[in-house]
Amino acid sequence: MTDLPFTIDQLRILKAIAVEGSFKRAADSLYISQPAVSLQVQNLEKQLNISLFDRGGKKAKLTESGQLLLRYGGRILTICEETCRALEDLQNLQGGTLIVGASQTTGTYLMPRLIGLFRQRYPQVAVQLQVHSTRRISWSVANGQVDLAVIGGEIPSELKEVLQITSYAEDELALILPKSHPFSQLKDIRKEDLYRLRFIALDTQSSIRKVIDKVLNQHGIDSTRFMIEMELNSIEAIKNAVQSGLGAAFVSVSAIAKELELGILYWAKIENITIKRMLSIIINPNRYRSKAADTFSKEILTLFVNSPQHIKFLNTKD
């Protein structure tokens, strides 16, 4: 068998340079010296007899050969990581790492509870939580960088045949108002009343906002007629703005459990309309699935979704 012309460390260095954009930042991220990085790249180019970087500009830019090696090298590194995690599994959940992902709202308000339950049972397992957009998390699961994820947005169409998608639970979306708002005295709000409110919303690219607009339109409500007072980029900022009397907003019920319990926000019902979205669990069935990930899915997700606490967490109104 011919000796390989590269090492795992060289592939890690190549990936770090591509990610960081410079030899120095790559060296810092790997906790080695810049001369060591440069020497490894020089040795790699010599062993392969190719140039991996265009050295004319300030930023380290891969050549076509470098991009090809990076693409295959990334797959090799992923397999190496899966191998290490498979070996860790032999310890039968007495160690190892579980990497879970979530979209913004589920990652902020739901996943900490699930991870807490898991850590109570398996304190030796290190848990990492990655919170990003549904699209980014879906790609991380597809690429094997995340074991499994709970998401609430639309999965990229190109990944629907790659990922295993399982319905998890319905998450109701609530119209919230300041407690002092005149509408808080009403049992139900009519559809027409929505056009009189000033709204605080997430940006137009938000998956939650797209779900809300879609459901409202299905019920004959034209969301484009809403008076948008301001757009904010976080649920916490929106809740604080509503609490301060700046407007109304649609948010996940899971995000306002504490505020409803304390009575500092009002959940306004719209007559004959319930706005819900489906939360889903996604995994890549073609990737190695650790015992920790399998246990988290079978024990924690199933346990929580069937518990009274879960029903209260997602669907309770004071």
What does each C-alpha distance from 222 to 225, 226, 317 come to in angstroms?
6, 8, 26
Name the fold adopted by 97-169+281-301.
D-Maltodextrin-Binding Protein; domain 2 (3.40.190)
Q: With b meaning 16 or more CB within 10 Å and e meaning fewer, what string describes 142-174?
A: bebbbbbbbbbbebeeebeebbebeebbebbbb
In contact, 126 and 118? CB cutoff 8 Å: no
**Interhelix angle for 23-30 vs 8-20, to 10°?**
120
The CATH classification of domain 171-277, taken from the options 3.40.50.1100, 3.30.460.20, 3.40.50.150, 3.40.190.10:
3.40.190.10
Residue ranges, CATH 3.40.190.10, the chain: 97-169+281-301, 171-277
Q: What is the pTM of this model?
A: 0.68
What does each C-alpha distance from 23 to 50, 108, 206 come to in angstroms?
18, 35, 35
Residue given tokens 């459990």 in the structure block: 257
**Which CATH code is given to the segment(s) 8-77?**
1.10.10.10
Residue given tokens 């991996």 in the structure block: 52
Q: With b meaning 16 or more CB within 10 Å and e meaning fewer, what string describes 269-300?
A: ebeebebebebbbbbbeebbbbbbbbbbbeeb
Residue ranges, CATH 1.10.10.10, the chain: 8-77
Phi, psi of 250 (to 5 degrees): -100, 125
Residue of 57, 112, 119, 144 whose CA lies nearest to 254? 112
Q: Tens-of-pLDDT digits for all 318 residues of the chain? A: 457 889 999 999 999 999 998 899 999 999 999 999 999 999 999 999 999 988 777 788 899 999 999 999 998 998 888 888 777 766 667 677 899 999 888 999 889 989 999 999 889 888 999 999 899 999 999 998 999 999 988 899 999 999 999 988 888 889 999 998 999 888 889 989 999 999 999 888 777 788 788 888 888 889 899 999 999 988 999 999 999 999 999 998 889 988 988 989 999 999 888 888 889 999 999 888 888 888 898 888 876 555 444 444 444 443
In contact, 177 and 262? CB cutoff 8 Å: no
Report the greatest alpha carbon distance in the chain. Answer: 79
Phi, psi of 248 (to 5 degrees): -110, 165
Query: Which runs of E-coded beta strand occur in 113-153?
Result: 126-131, 148-151
